[in-house]
Structure 1
Amino acid sequence: MYHKKRYQLPLAMMLTFLIITGCSAYSRSAPQESSPAREIRAAENKQNRQNQHPQNNLSPIPSILSESYRGIFEEAVRTDTTDTLETAARLVERIGESGYPAVDCQNQVNMVNGDRAVDFCRQAKAGKQAELTIFSVEYSGGLTQYDLQADAGELSVTRSYYHFEDGELKQKNTCTYPADFWEYTEEGYLLFCGSYFSQEYYIYAVNDVTACTALRVEPLDEEYRQMNRKYILPVGYGLNNLFLTDWNEQDIGQLDVYDLFDKLYLLVWGEAVPYRMDENLGVGAVYRIPGEEFEQVIRTYLHIDRETLRSKAVYFPEEGVYEYKPRGLHEAESADVPYPEVTGCRKNSDGTFTLTVNAVYMRNNTSKAFSHEVVIRPLEGERFQYVSNRVIPSQDNFDPVWRRERLTKEQWEEFYGEN
């Protein structure tokens, strides 16, 4: 059953939403400047623009790699596997055969020739002069080349992006910028962040582009990676709070069961939840979902009784249905969300096991925004349940600033009208 509530969405708010959703997750704008400052800034950057576009004297390394890249990528195109982890791993390995450090852009594959990157980081940290070329494999046929130069503790970055077309890697853009921040972290990450001028982006946002990069240098145990892909990554930190708040089977605390329904529906049924927001951004959609369907999704992955679940949602016992309102415009979250990384595992006496997980937050230049412990109960076959989550206390923990709670009943009625 589906109901709609309508209200007039202000034009300015609609434009803001379109701008936000159109921004790349890999760039952000710097603080805006006054109009005179913008003009001065544009004039100062006029000469620098020559360095923001492909140059003929750049390193010819990608042309050397094109031949070795071709066989793997053409096979991936034939088998429709260009965006898979397996293809990325093969490409990383192939680049490594040329002697260069390489990793995938999502840090899901251990870096090859990482010892060269470690040596560079140590020299740079010591204030020595050092150079390094490192590659990051994209999941769309792209390849990013970072040419790093360190001197007196400062880091200069030249980033070039290539895409595989017509049997070769073709350069699409390049930029050079000083790193405003860089660090080789205890967790084994090379982080750097800086800003550069882009004519296209400047016209759009009247700001420089800020680029933040996180490259895992130190290897991670493959068993931990597999656990991460199975238990943690499918839920992640966006649009839910399963791993952001403390809870257990005796007290599920502040868990948002509606967000869990959205996330777990895909795991249970292999497709996204069909109860979606209205195409008209000014319309609030309301569904009534059969109790058995809603409860099956949640209780497949959490051992929670029906009474507790119904107390955490809007349930109509006479009809045996749950009210469900999909997230709308006012509940959209930032695209800048950390990603999880399992770094430890211990077995418990009751047959469960506890995973230690770090939240890697590239946009905040940290490889450990916070750590948490997730208890997993394995079941028959490949099935399992989440037993608890505990955020490990630390003064260094970042608040989940990307998190946006769902509207309260009063807020929803204010925007969309009463039911």
Structure 2
Amino acid sequence: MNTKRTGIMLLILLSLSGCAAPEQEESTYIAESSDHKDDFGSGEEQDENEDYELKNIKMKPEEVEELSKSVLEVAEKCQAAYRKAGKNDASDIALQEETVHQMIEDAAKGGLSITCGGTDYNMQNYEKVDQELNKAKKGKNAETEFYEINTSGILRYIRLQFKKQKLYVTSVSAILNDNAKAQIQQVEKIQAYDWEYTQKGWLIWEKALSRNQEMDMHVFYRVLPLDAKCRELGNKCIIPVSYFCNNLFLTDWDVNSMGNLEFNDLYEFLYQMKYGEKMDEEIYEGGIPKIEFEEVVQSFFDISTEQLETFARYDKERGVYPWESIKCWNRIPQFQPFPEVVNYIENEDGSLTLLVEAVFTEGGKDCSFKHEVTIKEQGEGWIYLGNMTEKDESYRILQYRPRRAFYNTNKERTDLDQ
């Protein structure tokens, strides 16, 4: 195994253990050397084992120069919003999503197809990309391009060329730095191992055959727009909780079976939704005071105090609800899909049933499992009324184990995580 791959595996293992390594910037390099020719697959047939290796394609210097110039010109359109955000260089904190969205809007005015590096904004001017992808899906040769901006201030150009049902991807990355000036960071051209354009509108390609989920090579872009109401409901009610270390959307429950929920593990996610900021975990390591816990939980659930005391194991002597922060040892290490509200139903009682599909990038699936979340909007907020998972034809429903279930076998490790 080469050094680069060993490094990648180390980073993955650190993230899985809950002890994440520092975020690293992309390396600057130009992909100009390869055994693959620039005539769309006229090189020799590859050994099956080589499917695991990235197939770089040599680019002509004039092509690199032309593409780099075009990307820098687009970057200029984003400078005003970048400067307005007060971000002076790439070492600053990440851009706010609102700033990224404004940069996208500014760049899209010229008709460019451009999307967000996150999953919370629709691709602008997506129609021509969708048209070419549908041609390629039918086995026809096709070519299209689009841009992407992420919160690190990186602008990425993507050109897709389909020939004989094979996909060739050219990418050029530029980063905005001092004084919002852009510089080219990476240029690359590859032959993708596999690709798919799903019915939902997700473009997925695999840069090289993935050996496993720890060395995943999938790339995901949503091309077809998500309904505005669906996106709003997802951003407000589903994504802030998601599937990480709680079971709100992983178990079946309704208003008559709220005992199935682990409110203690859910608390910090509800707290952030209610107050718009993360809780100070160090203050509450001994438990959450009764009034504070109930005020947060009862903002999102129609549950009596007596029920909550029972379900969340209220400690009357100490006057707190038990709670502990997420650590390396009190959770199940697993890759996390992200939820996407794809539809909703307006019920006769005024509630809404949200149809949610979990997008699992490491598995190469635009839907690894489905679930239905029922909510009811009231005032400026909402309450959760239930969740139902679809067991049939599910690729992978995440495992869940309450944090308290790890305590008896791991309590001697608690002091190591303080």
* Alignment partner, residue 272 of structure 1: 278
* 1:169 alignment partner, one of 179, 182, 185: 182
Map 1:362-401; keep pairs closer than 5 Å: 362-380=361-379, 382-400=380-398
Map 1:229-244; keep pairs closer than 5 Å: 229-244=235-250
Partner amino acid, structure 2, of 1:398: R
* Alignment partner, residue 223 of structure 2: 217
CA separation in 1, counterparts of 2:315 and 2:62?
A: 62
TM-score w.r.t. structure 2 length? 0.77
Partner amino acid, structure 1, of 2:363: N
Per-residue deviation, residues 147-203 of structure 1 (Å, max 9, x unmatched): 21212222122233211124432111233333223111111111112249xxxxxxx
Partner amino acid, structure 2, of 1:249: V
CA separation in 2, counterparts of 1:83 and 1:317?
A: 44
- CA shift, 1:386, in A, is 0.7
Distance 1:407 1:144, change over 3 A: farther
* Alignment partner, residue 6 of structure 1: none
* Alignment partner, residue 101 of structure 1: 113
Distance 1:319 1:294, change over 3 A: same
CA contact (8 A) 1:26 1:211 kept: no
* Alignment partner, residue 152 of structure 2: 140
* 1:406 alignment partner, one of 403, 408, 411: 403
- Secondary structure of 1:330 counterpart: coil
1:246 aligns with 2:255: no
CA contact (8 A) 1:160 1:173 kept: yes
CA contact (8 A) 1:54 1:173 kept: no
Per-residue deviation, residues 222-270 of structure 1 (Å, max 9, x unmatched): 1222222221122122222211211111102532212211111122333
CA contact (8 A) 1:25 1:336 kept: no
- Secondary structure of 2:251 counterpart: coil
Map 1:9-158; keep pairs closer than 5 Å: 17=14, 21-22=20-21, 56-57=64-65, 59=67, 60-77=69-86, 83-158=95-170
CA separation in 2, counterparts of 1:226 and 1:190?
A: 22
Distance 1:260 1:101, change over 3 A: same
CA separation in 2, counterparts of 1:350 and 1:394?
A: 28
CA separation in 2, counterparts of 1:289 and 1:250?
A: 25
CA separation in 1, counterparts of 2:351 and 2:371?
A: 16
CA contact (8 A) 2:265 2:323 kept: no
* Alignment partner, residue 41 of structure 2: none
Map 1:185-224; keep pairs closer than 5 Å: 185-195=198-208, 210-224=216-230
Partner amino acid, structure 2, of 1:230: K
Distance 1:154 1:334, change over 3 A: farther
- Secondary structure of 2:270 counterpart: helix
Stretches of structure 2 that go unaligned for 5 or more consecutive residues are 1-9, 27-48
Size of the aligned set, in residue pairs, is 372
CA contact (8 A) 2:113 2:124 kept: yes
TM-score w.r.t. structure 1 length? 0.77
Partner amino acid, structure 1, of 2:163: D
- CA shift, 1:373, in A, is 1.4
* CA RMSD in angstroms, aligned pairs only: 3.8
CA separation in 2, counterparts of 1:214 and 1:117?
A: 14
Greater Cα shift, 321-330 or 86-95: 86-95
Stretches of structure 1 that go unaligned for 5 or more consecutive residues are 1-12, 28-40, 197-207, 278-284
CA separation in 2, counterparts of 1:18 and 1:342?
A: 27
Distance 1:160 1:54, change over 3 A: farther
User: RCO higher in 1 or 2 (8 Å CA, sep ≥ 6)?
Assistant: 1
Partner amino acid, structure 2, of 1:85: E
Partner amino acid, structure 2, of 1:245: T
